[in-house]
Structure 1
Amino acid sequence: MSRVKTEAIWQHDKVLPYILTSLKGKINEITAVEKILLFGSRGRLPLERWSELEGKDWDILVQAKCKLKNAHVLIEENYHLDLLVLDENQTERFIQNMKTKQLFPINELECLMTENEENGNIYRQ
Structure 2
Amino acid sequence: MTPSPVPSGAVRVLLVEDDRVQQLLVSTLLEREGCLVDIAEDGHEALVLWQEHHHTLVLTDCRMPRMDGYAFTRALRALPGGASVRVVGMSADTDDRPRALAAGMEALLDKPLSAEVVARVLRRG
Both proteins in one fold, TM over 0.5: no
Could you say which structure has the greater relative contact order, defined with CA pairs below 8 angstroms and 6 or more residues apart? 1
TM-score, structure 2 as length reference: 0.31
